[in-house]
Every structure is written in C-alpha cells, then in structure tokens.
Amino acid sequence: MWLFNKKSALLVIALSLLGSKTIMAQGCNIVLSGKVIDEHDGSPLSFAGIYVEELQKGVVSDTLGYFNIKNLCRKSYHLKVTHIGCESKPVFISINTDTLIEIKLEHHTHNLKDVKVEGKGNYSTQHSNMLSGLQLNQNTGKSLASIADNISGVSMIKNGTGISKPVIHGLYGNRIAILNNGIPQAGQQWGNDHAPEIDPFTTNQLSVIKGAGSVEYGGNHLGGIIITELGKIKYDPHLHGSVNYVLASNGITNTLSSLFEKSGKWFSWRLINTAKYGGDRHTPDYFLTNTGVREFNSAIQLEKQLNKKNFTTFYYSFFNTKLGILRGSHISNLTDLNAAIDRNTPFFTSDTFSFSIAPPHQKVQHHLFKWSYKYFWTEYLLLKVDWGTQLNRRQEFDVRRSGRSEMPALDLKMLSNYTNISLSAEKGSFKYKSGIQYRYIDNVNNPQTGILPLVPDYQLFNPSAFGNIYYSRNKASYELGGRYDINHFRVARILSTKTIEHIQHSFQNYSVVAGASYNLTSNFKSTLNIGLTKRSPEINELYSFGLHQGVASIEEGNRSLVPELSFKTIWTNTLSLKEKLWLETSLYYQPISNYIYLEPQLEPRLTIRGAYPFFIYSQNDVVLRGFDLSSKYELSESFDLSLQYSIVRGNEQVSNKFLIYMPADNISSKISYRFNSIKKFNYPEIALKGKYVFKQNRFNSSQDLLPPPDAYFLLNTSFGTSTTIRSHELNLSVEINNLLNQRYRDYLNRLRYYANEEGINIVLRLKYNF
C-alpha cells in the first residue's frame, strides 16, 4: 500500500511538472512585433535597436523599421529603443498575446516642429523651432536663455555672466511671453537683469514661436513666445528616473539634478531636484570678482486619470537663487565711473578665485502651483481648465554705508493668479478653440529698505477672451484668431516718507492673427503669418525711478507713454529632401507705432548710492525687419553639417536713426561625426562649432556711452557617447566653449562697459538613466 501510494505520488509530481512545462512553453511563445518610426514625419527608422532588459537581449529593426521579438511570456517588459542620432527611449509594455506596437523616436535630422493645437490633427499655421531630447541634454547646466540661443533668430541680452534673457527678432523683456508648463510666467520680468525663474531641468521640450503669435498665450508678445513643457509621466509601475551632474571649469560650477517618477493605480508622480554652486567666472586675463551663484530648485508633478473622460494634473515648482553682480560695475563717483568704463581690468578685481558672494548681489525665490483639468466630452470636444498661482520675491543688495550692505536696497513681493477656461472642438476639416482668461497681480515693496522703491506698489486686473478658427484640407491650412484684453492698474507711488500718490490706469488691448500654409510638394512647405497687436506700457516703463542694480544703471519711467501698435508679417519656407537636406528661411517685417525703449543719456547721474549711467524711457515709431536661415545636410548616416544665419534691422521711421540694442548679425556652423559603436560605447560623436558675431555698425554715437565692441569668433568643440551599466544607460560628454580663449565683449551684455566676456570653459556632463 505504501509502495503504491509512493509510486502514485511520483507519477502525480511527474505529470504536474510536465504539465507546468507545457503550459509555460505555451505561455512563452508570444511574439512582439512592431515598427520604429520618426516622431515628426512617420518615416521608418532602419537598424534601430530594441533591447529587452528582462531578457538581456535584443533585436534590430529592418530597412523598413519593422522588428519581431519571439518567445516572450505573459508578463511585463521594459524595452530600450535606440537609433543613431536619437535619444534612447524607454518603453514599458504588458503583453498577454501576440502584440503589434508602433514606437516613435525623436530623430534629430533638424529641430523644426509645428506647434500643434490640442486635438487629432495639426491645423495651426503657427510654427516653432523646438529643442528636446538630445539637444536639451547637450545643454544641461545652462540658463533658459542660453539654451534658446541655439535657435536661429534667437539671441540673448545679458547682464554679466549669470543673468540672461531671450531676445526674439530684436525684441525682449515685456514683449516676450514665457509659458512655464502652461502658465504665463509672472515675476519681475520687466528688468533686463531679471532672468526667467525657471529651472531648465523641469523642461523636456522648449519651443520658440517666432511668428505673429498665438492669441491663446496672451496679448503682449510682440516679439514671440517661449514654451517650456515637462510632458506627461510615462506609464510604468516601476520607479524610474535620471541623475545629471555638470561640472564647468569656469567658475568651478557644480550642478546636480535628479528626477524620479512612477505611475500607479491611484496616481502617477514625478519629483525633480536641482542644486547649483559656483564661484567667480574668469576672462582670459582676470577673474570677474563676485560673480558666483547658489541655486536650489524643486518640482513635483501629480497626475490622475479619473476615468476615460477626466484627467487632472497638479504641479508645484520652487526656484531659489543667489547671484553675485560684478563688483567693478558699482562705482561711487563720477570720476571713477568715467575711468571704469572701457577699462582693461575692472575696479575691485581680485587676484584669486573665490566662491564667496558679497554685495552687490540678488536673491530670488519663485513659487508656482498649477492645477489642470481636462474633460473629454466626446472624441472631438475638449474642455480644459488651468489655474495657477505664483509668488515671487526679489531682493537686491547694494554696497551700502554704515554696515547696511546686508539690508536689501530693493525688496519686492509679487502674488499672481491666473485662470484659463477653454473649449476645443473639431468638425470635419475645421477646428475651433475659444476661451476666457483672468490674471491678477499684486506687487508690493518692503518699506524697510530705507530707499524709495524702483517700481511702485501696484495691482493689475487683466480679464481677456480669445478665439481661433482653423481649417485644414489636403495641402493647405488656414487660421484666423482674435483676442481682447483689459489691463487696469492701481498704483500707489511713494513720493516721500509722508506722501503716497494713488493713480489708476486702464488700457484696452487687442490682437488679430491670420495665417496660411501650403505644401507645394511633399518636400516643400510655405507659411505666411500676419498679426496686429496692441501692447500697453508696463509698470516699469511708466514709473521706474532709481537704481536698477543688476544692470548698474539709473532708469526713469514716463507716465505719458501710450500703447504700442505692432503689425508683423513673417514668411517661412521649409525644404526637406530625402532626410538628407533640411533648409528653413524666414523673412519678417514689423512696423511698431509708439515703440517704447530705454534711451541712454550722455551724462551719468550721481546719487548717494554712487555714480551710474542714466536712461529714460522714450517712445517713437519704428520698423524692424530681418532674415533667419537654418539648414542641415547629412553627408552620410554619421556625418552632417549645419548652418545658421540671422540678421535684424531696426530704425526710427521718420529720422531713420538706428535702434539701440539690436542684435548684431551672426552666423554659426557645426560639423559632427558619429562613429559606430565601439565595444560598450554607443555611437560616440564628436562635433566642432564656430560662431562669428559681426560688429554692430548700425548705431548712433549719441545713443550710448561706448561704441559697440569689435566682431568676434568663438570656436567650441564637444565629444559625447553613452554606455550601459547593469541595463541602465549612462550618457557622458565633454564640451569646450571658447576653445581659443578669445578676448571679446558682446554688444548685448549691459556690463560690457566694465569687463570682458568669459574665457575658455570646459564642461563635463554625466547623465545616468534608471
């Protein structure tokens, strides 16, 4: 009996094992098939690598982009998709049967992307130049303006080494709209020394609209729009992310940033933290004393798919920085000021490097909270609600007498609220989008500074409404849009310790845009965009009065300013031939009535805070026009050339005088070569880039304290590759900027009166993805 039972048990075990193996064999015969295509035009990407992390093996797509992975089980897998010239893309997939997927990769043949309105099709005639993926990775550690400077037609106005703002077609400041993850950035952006309070690590796509502008994004952007987007969290129930480290030799600046994200049943989350620590920058000949930086930023994003029709997002970001201002730019008397201007070596220049930051310096904190909600009524009808609140605090510290240097000379707090409710609908070849928006700003000064504030306390009430109609059929697309704004200011201006003047201003602004695009062939597209925009003066243009510390100048507003009226026309043509040649040209013409600008006065002004250049806000009828060219040619799959060229002209319409602070003509080219993978190193790439900036000869000697500096040429080089460590990717690169250690000054740097630009800078970048 015992023997029978033992034999029966062995037989049962054997049959169970055989059955389980049979079931396993049946369950692990699944085939995953797919196609790898270019995200932009849908063209197949041949010889792309599809690596299955759980199996430690992979396949390569064929000449048409197709691939097959056999003998998979019923489970979840992590795929890593790679292709030469692309950033690797992680894909998480759960399979229970034979599965067919399509994988889109960001293939960087060029950096053009049309701006798409929400919906299934691409209706908008607005187009933008976009940077994402590898292009952003190659610029980590730089400011937002420095990254955007890689796009033709975009430059930057600077105030020393650490403060920069984007310039689009010669316009900047209040005339450029910046969207921070869908919310208009609200800070003290009126100042040329007030860089956007945005951490570039919270951006995985940066777009620049250089056309007449989309009416949805606000009514004051005569120059253009910069859009930063973080993107949705990828579906994957496992913890993933990346760690970035950047070391720059000039200033010994260290930057560390981390990103963690995970999707789950209840919600998906993403956490980003960034820290930066640097010291004095240096020119080829001397240190730029007191130009260090301290920065700590954080952001968190939460997403929840409530059901098939409801989706909501919460986003919070914190930006905190301390920036040193060149000590040699703050002078105590007129004699020393005249001696400091165009001096070979600035006053107060130290012989040794230092991480310390002393007055003059800035401290800036910025909080942004955003809630977004989408309701999909039908497949073609979408309701979207965005609400955001921002708190901005700016403190500026001067060299003050009697031990008061640690007391801020300027202390501003700005609270803003923004609400957007929009409705999008599609019907046949038409798309409609309309919405209402409301913006409120409350800006107050700390009265304990002991100095009359540069700008007064004020409140802004800004209701607005917009609407767009898009039509797209066959080869043509058309767009018509309009916007109406009311800007109502309540101003409390301090005249003395006992006298406060209360003033109110109301302005009515409007914008009208129209555009058309036509695909003459499958390789050639032409787009015409026109826009009429009325822009009311901002608070600083009306009421500035005092020292603008970061630019080391005294500015005085003008209460009699009237709104500007701009009419911009831009014609863009794009040619793409067999993924070998890409060429884009843009011509634009923009007359502006009552153009507001800072006019330098020949005589500096002496105050109890020192002697400084003096500027007054003035107004005139002007015209801007220019030309942008971007091109790229792939000699082979590994070898390519690119070229960019930009010119902009600005004149007063009656006197034909040149406008001040217009970007000089510039041309840049880049040659890069990608090697085949070498052992564990994937597609090493070496690049050489040159940029020539012409001397700005279009100026009036009576307009500035110094004539524009000489032309200069900068040579940069870089090397980058990636490798795999325990199934995780490590990207590493070395970049050398100003390789020839060139001595030069840039016309758009407001501190060019006192010092040269930075010398050679070696930048090491590491990025570990997990």
Per mean pLDDT, which range of 119-123, 305-309, 376-380, 384-388 is the poorest?
A: 119-123
Q: If you average pLDDT over residues 430-440, what whole number do you get? A: 95
Provide the pLDDT for residue 85: 66
Cβ count near 353 (within 10 Å):
14
Judge whether residue 182 has pLDDT over 70: yes
Provide the pLDDT for residue 486: 96
Provide the pLDDT for residue 601: 78
Provide the pLDDT for residue 450: 77
The reported pTM is 0.86
pLDDT in tens, 263-318: 988 899 999 999 999 999 999 999 999 999 999 999 999 999 988 899 999 999 99
pLDDT band (50, 70, 90) for residue 500: confident
pLDDT winner (highest mean) among 83-92, 107-116, 638-647: 638-647
Indicate if 397 and 531 belong to the same structural domain. yes
Q: If you average pLDDT over residues 194-199, what whole number do you get? A: 88
Provide the CATH number for the domain around residue 47.
2.60.40.1120
Q: If you average pLDDT over residues 34-51, what whole number do you get? A: 81
Q: If you average pLDDT over residues 758-767, what whole number do you get? A: 97
Closest CA to 505 of 454, 556, 561: 561
65: containing domain: 2-105
Provide the CATH number for the domain around residue 540.
2.40.170.20
Cβ partners under 8 Å of residue 276, min gap 6: 141, 253, 254, 255, 256, 293, 294, 295, 296, 321
Residue 128 lies in a domain: no
Q: If you average pLDDT over residues 158-172, what whole number do you get? A: 85
Distances from the Cα of 514 to the Cαs of 30, 213, 531, in angstroms?
Answer: 52, 10, 6
Residue 669 CA, chain-centre distance (Å), reads 22
Q: If you average pLDDT over residues 425-435, what whole number do you get? A: 91
Judge whether residue 112 has pLDDT over 60: no
Per mean pLDDT, which range of 28-37, 595-604, 706-715 is the poorest?
A: 595-604
Mean predicted lDDT score pLDDT of the chain? 86
* Contact between residue 229 and residue 208 where contact means Cβ atoms under 8 Å apart: no
Provide the pLDDT for residue 20: 41
Residue 419 lies in a domain: yes
pLDDT band (50, 70, 90) for residue 236: confident
Residue 568 lies in a domain: yes
pLDDT band (50, 70, 90) for residue 721: very high
Distances from the Cα of 480 to the Cαs of 332, 383, 648, in angstroms?
Answer: 55, 21, 27
pLDDT band (50, 70, 90) for residue 115: very low
Helix (H, G, I), strand (E, B) or coil at 143: coil
Indicate if 470 and 611 belong to the same structural domain. yes
The residue to which tokens 């010669």 are assigned? 170
Residue 458 lies in a domain: yes
pLDDT in tens, 516-569: 999 998 889 999 999 999 999 999 899 988 766 555 678 888 999 999 999 999
Residue 124 lies in a domain: no
Judge whether residue 218 has pLDDT over 80: no
pLDDT in tens, 317-347: 999 999 999 988 877 666 766 777 778 899 8
* Contact between residue 614 and residue 602 where contact means Cβ atoms under 8 Å apart: no
State which amino acid sits at residue 728.
Answer: H
Residue 89 lies in a domain: yes
* Contact between residue 111 and residue 42 where contact means Cβ atoms under 8 Å apart: no
Of 74, 90, 105, the residue at which a domain comes to its end is 105
Provide the pLDDT for residue 124: 62
Provide the pLDDT for residue 368: 97
Q: State how far the Cα of 661 lies from the Cα of 743, in Å rounded to an integer.
A: 21
pLDDT in tens, 669-679: 999 999 988 88
- The DSSP bridge partners found for residue 445 are 412
Provide the pLDDT for residue 493: 87
Q: If you average pLDDT over residues 424-429, what whole number do you get? A: 90
Cβ partners under 8 Å of residue 167, min gap 6: 154, 155, 156, 157, 176, 223, 663, 748
Provide the pLDDT for residue 685: 94
Residue 167 lies in a domain: no
Percentage above 90 pLDDT, the chain: 49
Provide the pLDDT for residue 26: 47
Q: State how far the Cα of 507 lies from the Cα of 31, in Å rounded to an integer.
A: 64
Judge whether residue 489 has pLDDT over 90: yes
Q: State how far the Cα of 672 lies from the Cα of 146, in Å rounded to an integer.
A: 21
Provide the pLDDT for residue 258: 97
Closest CA to 689 of 710, 711, 675, 672: 672
Q: If you average pLDDT over residues 675-699, what whole number do you get? A: 92
Provide the pLDDT for residue 603: 74
Q: If you average pLDDT over residues 378-399, what whole number do you get? A: 92
Indicate if 236 and 101 belong to the same structural domain. no
Q: If you average pLDDT over residues 98-124, what whole number do you get? A: 58
Of 105, 127, 146, the residue at which a domain comes to its end is 105
Judge whether residue 22 has pLDDT over 60: no
Provide the pLDDT for residue 50: 87
Strand pairing category for 430-445 and 410-427: antiparallel
Percentage above 70 pLDDT, the chain: 90
Residue 155 lies in a domain: no
Count how many domains the chain has.
2
Of 105, 129, 161, the residue at which a domain comes to its end is 105
Provide the pLDDT for residue 702: 76
Judge whether residue 63 has pLDDT over 80: no
Per mean pLDDT, which range of 260-264, 439-443, 452-456 is the poorest?
A: 452-456
Indicate if 505 and 361 belong to the same structural domain. yes
- The DSSP bridge partners found for residue 681 are 678, 723
What are the tokens at 474? 């066959």
Q: State how far the Cα of 677 lies from the Cα of 261, in Å rounded to an integer.
A: 30
